[in-house]
Structure 1
């Protein structure tokens, strides 16, 4: 298969622009003053189904032949890709099966069911989700749409950054969360063919740093099943396609501790009045953790999702605002 380029992201944008929302850019003078630079937040938590994932799902399902769509599609997900796949399937008239961890957030599970998809659960710590997907695909003739490791999914994900950079071509850097690596790879591609240099940094929880370790090793490595509040980023190995792009184009990886992720959810609520799930707040946590190491100039952050159960959101915010031991930037923003 040919290497992905920025042209694939442009083609995806043409294919799905009428299907997805044009999400806003959020700013805060308080955050800018605290960090000493302008920060622009791309609010993909306000996207259809509550995350950027709908971009890749729409692009991938649209690319399938009509006969394959009619036979049905299947994909594994921690939640957000499942929501996106369910909506894309409903739009294109394709039956959808989602393989999801048994402990996935209830708000995501309810949303997937409400969109008419069939759910198959597995144990996150012991189950082999890719084997389950393969078995369902073979048994029922379903087309597999991966959550990240697919050319059309990567290209679709990159349209979020394309929109961001079209509005703010002056950004010196963009930070994105890394789970399977599709959003990071798509963002790298969107930024790769521009006269103005924009560096792309991936951000991972310290407890789920498979891409960071793989980049250091020079090849994909496995890690134990992670335990992190950022449930959408709990991958054990980068995807083959995503890693190929990220190894070439990422400027670097920032890893962040769990408490800083919760802090970031709190100040995104306080200073931007927006709701981020833990995985969605990880990129902003990376900004706080590595602000001094980024190129000078305005910085973009993709807030990748906002699907979080309210009791859990409230608990994490309460924990963040009462904890005394904060990262210096987070402490200033939580006062």
Structure 2
């Protein structure tokens, strides 16, 4: 690639992804009375597992709204952490509205996946650790969907290294954050068709957007084929298993390598929760 690369392996985080940071911080920030009411979250998989595990560790009930086409591994793991899983159709139902309705009916505390300050702060500890561990970075590339991970990491990393350039990474088919940054306003898209199931968001969150619009240098995109190439590279060269969204930042670096020639670049490997069968099939298609 022609640059010095440092990789933050969040696939080794508890429940297999960076999302545990935000989920745990969100539930840990609640009062005892709020935890006694139980929590409700909506997620395609990793925030679901994060909230489920964090709730289990805090001794409170959790219900998670998950799409019918979520990876089976993520559905099973969420149930395995003791949460109630409620299925919805991501192509026909508004998950935010449905989650609000269910949380009101149950008097549960709603824990959104990204547009929620305690979640953003929790995710930001990843950026903080990177900036503290690796000196003089030119750039940090963070996968983005709703923007919680990118915005939180941006604030934290820049607090340690003010001159670091922050980049988001998203699949080409779901480049709403890129469109938003270039237009200056939040752009909403249809549910994107991409193998990156953790990044099938339709619009960046309002809170993350306030940070991204002013402090992020650019949003990089990558085709799904390059995501698979990055997954295969991580597996063959580093013996690391990444889910598609977990490999998106690395893929974005690979797809935009010329931009980072001679630079010191950190990349987040954001998660490794993928069904064995799907992992093998995707790697078999790598070029």
Residues 144-198 of structure 1: per-residue CA shift (max 9 Å, x gap): 1111111110110010111111110222111111111111101111122235621
Distance 2:188 2:263 in 1: 36
5+ long unaligned stretches in structure 2 = none
Q: Does 1:263 align with 2:229?
A: yes
Superposed CA RMSD: 1.1
Query: How many residues are aligned here?
Result: 287
CA contact (8 A) 1:169 1:196 kept: no
Q: Secondary structure at the match of 1:187?
A: helix
Residue 295 (structure 1) shift = 7.1
Q: Which residue of 2 aligns with 1:291?
A: 257
Which of the numbers 37, 57, 62 marks the counterpart of 1:71? 37
**Distance of aligned partners of 1:191 and 1:295 in 2 relative to their CA distance in 1, 3 Å threshold:** farther
Q: Which residue of 1 aligns with 2:209?
A: 243
Q: Does 1:303 align with 2:265?
A: no
Residue 297 (structure 1) shift = 2.4
Q: Does 1:140 align with 2:142?
A: no
Alignment of 1:192-271 (within 5 A): 192-195=158-161, 197-271=163-237
Residues 284-320 of structure 1: per-residue CA shift (max 9 Å, x gap): 0111111221374211100000000011000111100
Distance 1:44 1:193 in 2: 21
Q: Secondary structure at the match of 1:317?
A: helix
Larger radius of gyration: 1
Structure-1-length-normalised TM-score: 0.84
Alignment of 1:36-51 (within 5 A): 36-51=2-17
Distance 1:162 1:153 in 2: 15
CA contact (8 A) 2:41 2:111 kept: yes
Q: Which residue of 2 aligns with 1:166?
A: 132
